[in-house]
Amino acid sequence: MKHLEDIQGSRVYGRRQGKALSEARQARMDKWMPEIEIRLPVTEGEASAPPVPPQEYFTESLRDYWLEIGFGKGEHLAAQAAAHPGVGMIGSEPFLNGVSGLVDQVDQQGLSNVRVFMDDARLLMDSLPDQSLGRAFILFPDPWPKARHHKRRIVSAGNIAVLARLLKDGAELRIGTDHMEYCRWIMAHMLDNEDFNWLADKPQNWQSRPEDWPATRYETKSLAQGRKSSYLRFVRRPRS
Ligand SMILES: C[S@@+](CC[C@H](N)C(=O)[O-])C[C@H]1O[C@@H](n2cnc3c(N)ncnc32)[C@H](O)[C@@H]1O
């Protein structure tokens, strides 16, 4: 089995690696990644690989599978995994030092329901079958503020359509941001998509973080710098 990136090239715009990992962190990566890393199958020639149901990545039987796109250092993902041991938490993050942060938490907390895809979330999403996810999170995605970089934004019409395909009827999509203009962009794109309903009817619903939405590292820093965040929750409309 080859890693998809080996043949397709990268579609990731941010950093893939920061400073070198310490010996201890590298040792934890070496111990855990063979067990928890998702590596996508690749077929030879023109044929595309058949979809891989999320349960194939886990050894135990779980009641649902949730996806976090761009989990950073993994605080939210690890907290959700600990709070919901019956759910398979799948995270996608191309930044090695971020993945190492999550692996440290898997190691410390003994989390058996976490799997990691260390690459562009879109490659993983394309490989999953329809209606295979019970929840998805995109928390504080890079805002790419310059107009010429907007096409890099992970919240886009194309990616929303893919999430609409993957999420089960009634499943939630949560998006957090502290960037006003990106928030407007997200709302415009989400409201433009007929497959999702916004779950807010008053500002209190989106101006404060719900209790079952653990804080992320990015959000904590942003709050300390005096910025406010929006906590957007959408639900996949039932297919008719
Ligand atoms: C601003 S950071 C936020 C990290 C984390 N969610 C938090 O709130 O602390 C955005 C993250 O998205 C990741 N990212 C960017 N493009 C991505 C992609 N195509 N697939 C998966 N993750 C991506 C980056 O590596 C980065 O860690």
Condensed to tens digits (0 to 9), the pLDDT of residues 146-176 reads: 999 999 999 999 999 999 999 999 999 999 9
Distance of CA 44 from the midpoint of ligand 1 (Å): 30
User: What pLDDT score does 174 carry?
Assistant: 98
Give the annotated binding-site residues. 68, 93, 120, 142, 146, 178, 216-219
For the CA of 219, the nearest atom of ligand 1: 8
How many alpha carbons fall within 13 Å on the CB side of residue 200? 20
pLDDT at 4 over 50: no
Strand partners, 99: none
Q: What is the pLDDT of residues 183-240, one digit of tens each?
A: 999 999 999 999 999 998 787 789 999 999 999 999 999 999 999 999 999 999 999 8
- Residue whose CA lies nearest to ligand 1 atom number 9: 218
Report whether CATH 3.40.50.150 matches the domain 4-236: yes
16 to each of 100, 120, 128, how far by Cα in Å?
Answer: 12, 10, 23
Best residue among 216, 218, 219 to mutate for probing ligand 1, ranked by most atoms within 8 Å of CB: 218
Domains of the chain, by residue range, sit at 4-236
Distance of CA 79 from the midpoint of ligand 1 (Å): 17
pLDDT at 43 over 80: no
Helix residue ranges, H only, 4-58? 4-8, 23-36
Q: Which residue has the tokens 């929006």?
A: 230
Q: What are phi and psi of 134, to 5 degrees?
A: -95, -10
- State the CB neighbour count (10 A cutoff) for residue 163: 23
Distance CA 136, CA 129 (A): 14
Q: Are 236 and 164 in contact (CB under 8 A)?
A: yes
pLDDT band at 6 (very low <50, low <70, confident <90, very high): very low
pLDDT at 133 over 90: yes
For the CA of 71, the nearest atom of ligand 1: 6
- State the CB neighbour count (10 A cutoff) for residue 94: 22
Residue 234's H or E segment, with its range, is strand 230-236
- State the CB neighbour count (10 A cutoff) for residue 183: 19
Distance of CA 69 from the midpoint of ligand 1 (Å): 7
